[in-house]
Amino acid sequence: MNLLFNINLNSTFSKAIAFSLVGLVGTISLTPNIAQAATVTNTKNVIIMIGDGMGWEMARAAAIQEQINAGNLGNSLIDFYTSGKGSGLAFQELSNYVLSTTYGTTIAPANGTFNTSNSAIAGNNITGEGSVLPGFVFDPTFNPGTTPTGGASNPNSYAVGNLVGYDPVRGGATPWDAAYYGGAIPSGFDKEYIKYSYPDSANTATTLYTGVKSYNSAIGVDIYEQPLDSALKIASEAGKSTGLVTSVPIDHATPGAAAANVNRRNKLDQPYPLLDNILQQELRIFQPTVLLGGGNPASNPLPLQPDVEPPQDFTYITQDTYDYLVANPNSNRYGYQFLESGPNATATLLAAAALIDPNNLGNRLLGLYGAEGQNGNLPINSADGTYQNTGLDMFSLYSSAQAGSPNNITPGIPNPDTVRPLQPGETDEEFIARQLDENPRLKDLTQAALTVLEKDPDGFWLMVEAGDIDWAAHDNNLDNLIGAMSDFNDSVDYVINWIANNGGWEQNLLIVTADHDHYFTLNDNFPELLRTVGAHDLTYSNNTPASAGHFWGSAGSDPANADSLVKYDWGTHSNRPVPVYFQGNGSEVLLNSVGQGYDAYGNAIPGIPGLVDQVHTAKTQLQALQTVPEPGSVLGFLAIGFLGLGSKLKQKIK
Ligand SMILES: [Zn+2]
């Protein structure tokens, strides 16, 4: 359990609130046990697991692989599934399933171009500083735009308001809409529509944790760059332990939005004592009990030069922060025990987790990992489960297949990275084995997190992210995609088993979802090709949609389009709704949200029949984390009138 320092250095308003709370708590802290004994939360443990970029089709590709592994010999999609929840993956066994919209905001400076990455604050600035765009008033009208990043300078019928929205007529009512699969194109449907104004992982994560719509690149802030209360912060204030686990860097957008209030996602880290960045806020302000993931400086795509030390890349952690932690792993200004990549990493991590007691203030665990040669993420799995692509750049396939790329030898034929940063005399096999020894897998990080968090009798909030699903999809890399999905699935499976042995669904809420979709389509022959050819060859050769069984973007299914000969067609996100799989205490909040609207900046936003929005996924968590009187407690009834005070008190005294 954390003592959360309720400091916001970026807002005079919040600062005043924080100081007044400190004064308030100080006057009544002589009777600390009343609130502590009298309140609990609606649900003891809340776990959200995010497959970054794991749209419905990405999940289906992995589910088909799992079914093939289990003996399914089907050749066509119909032999597996062509709609709905599907089967083959652990989270597809959860009892509830809905589809969710993921869109964010789009903002234009006066008479300027609408852009999904604009906040309503003018210029580049310190978070919370700067002035509102002249004349800006939030307009809740849907504005899908006409380009990937927004809309034209001259407002047209599609460029009027500040919410992107989702139109089921133009984009399909479901991700499995037949119009994406060679079926008839209904009137009004547009295959390009889901490319426009697509969301990113920062704004979607912000919404998933806070229930507030914001702009691409927003890390836990609203469109005015003001800090929002995340589920992590609210859980901490309720006396719970908290955890962030990811396969990509610990200060990437998805973990960052839970434990930082920063106006730009690229503000990753700065030398101490600067605070307008994600990592320093994670470590010094929000302080999750466990923070485990990638970003280690040794994980770098550059090849190793002979007889020199492995190259280090300080993109995700400054040398200042890293050197300090290495020199002070057990006692430091952050209050974390620090672990990193090294021999026998998983056993070392699990042994450390066993000794961390979250009931002791300041007992926290920080793990910084990443495979050498990749891009700051854990060793990347492949569809065959061998981790055969470990040590190769995660972003070389799609870019090299694009016309105009320096690595493009033959248009449409990729020239991916094949060179690992081997030690002198080391073989590729030895290198991969070493990376697997020196780094845990996502499931191992999840196990370590639960080993710590389960010791807190007040429960916990935990986020687990498979960020490399998104990276594989950006690279149009089917092999890495299915591999990353497999590791995510193993982590979900571990959590489901943990829940069965730790209070069951009565005490736990599990939500498994994506932050956003990618534009990816399976052809009807995909299962047969995956089974007989395998994802590795389908990824690096067979470079037509027909012979690869899949394609990225919108062109592959159009025989009249010359681009249909090229499967590497769209290297980023889409605005299509994503699946949400969930079960446990509090699930009814999300089930009851289907088709419902929500509030955005004081405006009632209409819902879409059959869909929820990520605002509702946040609401479900926040309601589960709401403090209530402990059942049967007399003191609990006395505390009813002091609920808000009680939770603050608890935060102060623990
Ligand atoms: Zn992405």
pTM (2 d.p.):
0.91
Decide if pLDDT at 439 tops 90: yes
Count how many residues are written for the chain. 654
Burial of 16 (0-12, 13-18, 19+ CB in 10 A): exposed
pLDDT on residue 323: 97
Average pLDDT of the segment spanning 48-56: 98
Distance separating alpha carbons of residues 617 and 484, to the nearest angstrom = 24
Q: How far is the centre of ligand 1, averaged over its atoms, from the C-alpha of 172 (Å)?
A: 22
- Number of other residues whose CB lies within 10 A of the CB of residue 126: 14
Decide if pLDDT at 421 tops 80: yes
Q: Which two tokens stand for residue 55?
A: 């749209």
Q: How far is the centre of ligand 1, averaged over its atoms, from the C-alpha of 50 (Å)?
A: 13
Q: What is the mean pLDDT of the chain?
A: 89
In terms of DSSP bridges, do strands 365-369 and 96-101 run parallel, antiparallel, or are they unpaired?
A: unpaired
pLDDT on residue 630: 84
Q: How far is the centre of ligand 1, averaged over its atoms, from the C-alpha of 247 (Å)?
A: 14
Q: How far is the centre of ligand 1, averaged over its atoms, from the C-alpha of 249 (Å)?
A: 13
Q: How far is the centre of ligand 1, averaged over its atoms, from the C-alpha of 458 (Å)?
A: 35
Q: How far is the centre of ligand 1, averaged over its atoms, from the C-alpha of 578 (Å)?
A: 14
Q: 193 and 171 in contact (C-beta within 8 Å)?
A: yes
Q: How far is the centre of ligand 1, averaged over its atoms, from the C-alpha of 516 (Å)?
A: 8
Average pLDDT of the segment spanning 251-258: 98
* DSSP sequence for 521-542: EE-TTHHHHHHHT-HHHHHHS-
* pLDDT tens digits for range 118-143: 999 988 789 989 999 988 999 999 99
Q: How far is the centre of ligand 1, averaged over its atoms, from the C-alpha of 194 (Å)?
A: 15
Distance separating alpha carbons of residues 462 and 346, to the nearest angstrom = 20
Q: How far is the centre of ligand 1, averaged over its atoms, from the C-alpha of 475 (Å)?
A: 10
Q: How far is the centre of ligand 1, averaged over its atoms, from the C-alpha of 553 (Å)?
A: 14
Q: How far is the centre of ligand 1, averaged over its atoms, from the C-alpha of 104 (Å)?
A: 14
Q: How far is the centre of ligand 1, averaged over its atoms, from the C-alpha of 170 (Å)?
A: 23
Q: pLDDT above 90 covers what percent of the chain?
A: 77
Q: How far is the centre of ligand 1, averaged over its atoms, from the C-alpha of 183 (Å)?
A: 28
pLDDT band at 543 (very low <50, low <70, confident <90, very high): confident
pLDDT on residue 579: 98
Q: 163 and 143 in contact (C-beta within 8 Å)?
A: yes
pLDDT on residue 305: 64
Q: pLDDT above 70 covers what percent of the chain?
A: 86
Q: 238 and 625 in contact (C-beta within 8 Å)?
A: yes
Decide if pLDDT at 645 tops 70: no
Please give the span between the terminal C-alpha atoms of the chain, in angstroms, as a whole number.
Answer: 7
Q: How far is the centre of ligand 1, averaged over its atoms, from the C-alpha of 651 (Å)?
A: 35
Q: 614 and 102 in contact (C-beta within 8 Å)?
A: yes
